[in-house]
Amino acid sequence: MDVGEKRLRIVRLLSSSKDELIRLYRSSSVATVLKLLSEMSRLSEGHVKGCDSALLPVEELKQFPVRGSNSIECRPEEALRSDGFVVAAYDSSTYYPSPHFGLNIAIVSVGFWCQDYAMASVYSDMYPRLFTSLPRRRREVIAKIGEAEALDVLMERLSIDEGGRKIMLLDEALNLSYTLALSQELRREVVSLMKEILNKVIRAGFAPAGVFYTRAQDLANSLRILGVLSESDGVTDKSVMNWWLNPMARSPVFKVYSRPLLEGNLSIMCFYLKVGEGNVLRVEFPEECLDQVNDIHLAALCQSFLGNGYPLALERAHELAVLTREDRQVIEMEIARLLGVASLEELISRKEVAKRWPVV
């Protein structure tokens, strides 16, 4: 079978499922959204107990406009400068070879970017860490260990004035729902390391905030427990907030309820931010930073305008951290050179050789 035939079969599959795709796309009807918003006030922690993921309202159920003027979209950098913001971000990327590679190693690359808007200064850096002879099952733990160590080094190199409004953006790193797929022991280890990272950031004077896109149905999960929605309702938080919020406004703050957070005794808050039509971000932060929610709102919004819809600081940190396919090839070739191996093929399985250099 050639590539064209394979793609044709997939297109036919999608065409035959057109009605179902339309149903999913339109699931956030006005009636459903209004039902969600009107029933949220009934929720309590007792209702969501035992649920893997849900949201509990902390503020009044209304939308909150951004602090400042409507010119923020046109002059986001000026808004950050006038309020004395320092916005930083870090991101990580991990080289973790497949079982077809002869060495059990990992390399964690952490990218860090920071701009002091009052001083008009930018600092960027990256920090790589090599791990050797570690069990493959600890992949998520290895990434967090690398991030924690990198922050110690990178924050020490950072030179900024005391005071000001300091925000550290972390993309989805703060959201720990993915750890539900791990064993309870590993999940607790990851959550413990995340708490360590948050403490480092807060001690440095920054408010940590995870900013990311999600298809989460946490609002719907909460209301399914109340019997307001059925299991077949596929409404997402993003679709609800896109309909409800005005551009630049945020939702009320919610407490994130999830098993990993409960087990790790970690209290996380969140809100949804509508940057523009169809562009809705979820923003998570520790409860200790609840009094800084308006600063987090303004910083995340301005950064999104600067980054053409997604926070510029996170884009820059990602660029510094990411290990591309070419980077990974360099890593493997350098390992082969250091080991005195004549050919990279000696370090990988025959199956991997066939995948990389197939018989023509």
**Could you say which DSSP state residue 102 is in?**
S
pLDDT digits (tens, 9 = 90+) for 296-354: 999 999 999 999 999 999 999 999 999 998 998 888 888 777 877 755 555 554 455 44
Domains parsed from the chain with CATH numbers? 27-323 (3.30.2170), 325-360 (no CATH)
Residue 27, pLDDT score: 56
Give pTM, 2 decimals: 0.85
Nearest alpha carbon to residue 176 among 266, 112, 107, 238: 266
Nearest alpha carbon to residue 279 among 254, 252, 256, 300: 300
pLDDT greater than 80 at residue 247: yes
- Cα-Cα-Cα-Cα torsion 241, 245, 251, 256, nearest 10 degrees, comes to 0
Q: What is the mean pLDDT of residues 221-236?
A: 71
Among 123-132, 157-166, 250-259, the least confident range = 157-166
pLDDT greater than 80 at residue 31: no
Q: What is the mean pLDDT of residues 50-67?
A: 86
pLDDT digits (tens, 9 = 90+) for 82-102: 999 999 999 999 988 765 566
Residue 353, pLDDT score: 46
109 or 38, greater pLDDT: 109
Spatial separation of the C-alpha atoms in residues 217 and 260, rounded to whole Å = 17
Residue 33, pLDDT score: 66
Give the orientation angle of helix 139-157 with respect to helix 184-203, to 10 degrees.
10
